[in-house]
Amino acid sequence: MEYGQTALPSHTGSVGQEIYALASEIFPLCRSITGQGVRDTLDILACYIPLERRSVRTDERLFDWTVPKEWVIRDAFIKDEAGRRIVDFHACNLHVVSYSTPVHRRMPLEELRRHIHTLPDQPHLIPYRTSYYAESWGFCMAHEQLEALSPGIYEVRIDSELKDGRLDYGELVVPGTSGREFLLSAHVCHPSLANDNCSGLALLAILARQLRGMDTRYTYRFIFAPGTIGALAWLAQNEQRLHLIDMGLVISCVGDAGGPTYKRSRRGNTFIDRAVEHVLKHCGRKAEIRDFSPYGYDERQYCSPGFNLPVGLFQHSPFGEFPEYHTSADNLDFIAPEHLERAYRTLAEVIRVAEGNWTPLNLSPKGEPQLGRRGLYGSTGGDKAAADGAMAMLWVLNLADGTHTLLDIAERAGLPFARIAEAAGRLKEKGLLAEAAPPTSSSWQEAI
């Protein structure tokens, strides 16, 4: 297989369809930062990859944070005077503010309104709201439904519990030969939100399954953890090994038709920043590259000044900037297999850059080597493909002075990394190049 191609799992017609199927399987679960929904989600992911389960007890200190009590939710509803459920947690788990404390009361509509969240600008949608660290209770519903309610007495019940328990997260390590690590992380704390949660979890699970058993240079560490508090739990439990991480990506919102969008790491010009930007430059779509900001997903924990890890954020549409974000419209109709597959292929190409990057040394540096007599230069003029290939070889030969990596050369030449890597491989086979840096393995090229 030529460099840059992507082989899909042989037992399915499309990797995008497989990712979509997994996202659909975990979509109905009521996840929060703790509780059974998180454990059930990790159970499903563990059917695809051998997750290692980790947990942290309630009240355990994590830097400046404390693990909250575990949230249990069994049922929730609002009933009208006729006893009909006009809001039902079992119909849509977004109806309950996450981490709501228990309540069972009868109250007039005027009082009930103070505990209901709606979206007046999107009156047919149910919002997603949380109350993790301040005890309160509430419901979410469509604004048009709220406006249609008649004055009267309503029965309100949230059958929930806050108890001593634990915070759970999952981790998978795919070992490589160098001991250096590539971190990939997705949050596992949102309920039924397809793009902002399920898409990233499903994509990383399928990617991890494809990487397992391959010969890779990097060790790939996959983390499936509740947002903020879960990432802090992992950081606290792994502080002694953080120096091994050479690069990382947080993945979310990768199932929609937008983007792609990349937010740089706090350092701004690390290898992962350059690699992703290079891949997106040649992806055939208009990509947006953003500088780091201390707001977003768990990249802000990995990039906090005490750690300052080289971790960026990869998305399609940016969080908070698409109208479906944190609403009931972020459902399985909003994401699609073709968009999930596009994100998968983007990550696969970033991995190829990471795995395939090496520093070449020109063994015939005095003047330009004669490519024609080595079968590296077409004898017939006018062939654009041959001319493009020759230009890639000329760039490699000219910059192969032992100080430039293949990514350096690809950036300087304005050519896709795959083309530069292929040219370097051909030149090496003909004895014109040697490696000025340790060799990399190659089986990953055949199967991602």
Feature table: binding site? 190, 196, 326
Alpha helix (H) residue ranges in 336-405:
337-356, 384-399
Q: How many CA atoms lie within 13 A of 146 on its CB side?
A: 24
* Helices and strands, number each (H, E), in the chain: 13, 18
Q: Is the dihedral of CA 407, 356, 447, 391 positive or negative?
A: positive
Alpha carbon distance 223, 1 (integer Å):
30
Contact status, residue 439 vs residue 428, Cβ threshold 8 Å: no
Alpha helix (H) residue ranges in 298-356:
299-302, 337-356
Q: What would the two tokens of residue 394 be?
A: 């000329």
Paired strand residues for 30: none
Alpha carbon distance 142, 125 (integer Å):
5
> What does the longest C-alpha to C-alpha distance in the chain come to?
91
Paired strand residues for 168: 55
Contacts of 322 (CB under 8 A, 6+ apart): 195, 253, 256, 258
Feature table: binding site for Zn(2+)? 190, 196, 326
Core vs surface per residue 241-263: b (16+ CB within 10 A) or e: eeeebbbbbbbbbbbbebbbbbb
Alpha carbon distance 38, 31 (integer Å):
5
Long-range contacts of 422-425 (CB under 8 A, 24+ apart): 422/2, 422/3, 422/4, 422/389, 422/392, 423/389, 423/392, 423/393, 423/395, 423/396, 424/358, 424/360, 424/396, 424/400, 425/3
Alpha-carbon dihedral of residues 394, 396, 398, 399, nearest 10 degrees?
Answer: 160
Say how many C-beta atoms besides its own lie within 10 A of residue 130's C-beta: 18
Nearest to 229 by CA among 98, 121, 85, 106: 98
Q: Is the dihedral of CA 414, 415, 421, 426 positive or negative?
A: negative
